[in-house]
Amino acid sequence: MNTGVFKIVVLAACIVLAASAIYVFRPNRIHLTRITVVGDSQAKVSPDTALITFSVVTQGKQAFDVQQENARKSESVKQAVQAATKDAKVEIKTSDYSLNPQQDNYSFKTPKILGYDVKNTVTVSINSLDQVGAIIDAATKAGANSVDGIRFVVSEASPAQGDALNLASQQAMAKAEAIAKSLNGKIVRVVETREGGTPELSRPDPYSADASTNTMTAAKTEYRTPVQAGQVNLKAEIVMVVEIET
């Protein structure tokens, strides 16, 4: 065999070996697919926090005098609520304040200011539900003349919140695994998880009164306002983005 032919044979053999090596050790073709799934959970649970909203409304001829009277009564209401809730975790915050003129809108001339209305609205948050009635009684006795409503909620720190999110996450992962199985693949990682929407903590309590229906009359016996919390709807939703290898 001459040298030229030998070189050709060797070169051909090298090409075959190289092609075989490329075929044997070729990289696997991996397809990654991202999907988004949603898991949710709903349950009836007992609330652990009450939100009571009430107002002090005053009226008069002079704006400053009405404002001062409202400030005095509002401070009395605040102190009365604090005294009624010594052993509970309570938060009192202003949720609205307004001073508006009362006008004679029936005049054909420029409306005349007849007086002024001042309304100071506060919201009390308390973790002792059996004291809600006492708070209402103390506030109205001290000068609050409008009870705008009560809401019973589940606080963010409640274990029920964590349980609801856990169930929602499990449902989302179960959906993702089912989809991966249908594609003959597997989940390689969770790219993102987030809470979707706003949890439905509660609905406004049907108890509500205002100044026109909450007039207190003198009586020999004082009755405590009965308030029942019941249960609220707790809803959690988890949006999960996963990566599937096929």
Q: Which domains does the chain have, with CATH numbers?
A: 29-47+155-208+230-246 (3.30.110.170), 49-153 (3.30.70.2970)
Would strands 232-245 and 186-195 be described as parallel, antiparallel, or unpaired? antiparallel
Mean pLDDT computed over 122-132: 90
Amino acid at residue number 175: K
The Cα 113–Cα 102 span in angstroms is 6
The span from the first CA to the last CA of the chain, in angstroms, equals 52
Report residue 218's pLDDT band, with 50, 70 and 90 as the boundaries.
very low
**For the packed helices 63-84 and 132-142, what is the interaxial angle rounded to 10 degrees?**
150
pLDDT > 80? residue 17: no
Tokens of 152: 């019973």
Contacts of 94 (CB under 8 A, 6+ apart): 120, 121, 122
The residue with greater pLDDT, 204 or 180, is 180
Closest CA to 82 of 121, 134, 150: 134
Report residue 90's pLDDT band, with 50, 70 and 90 as the boundaries.
confident
The length of the chain is 246
Global pTM? 0.64
Tokens of 178: 């089912």
Percent of the chain with pLDDT over 90: 37
Q: HEC states along 79-101?
A: HHHHHHCCCCCEEEEEEEEEEEE
Contacts of 117 (CB under 8 A, 6+ apart): 57, 58, 59, 66, 98, 99, 100, 101, 102
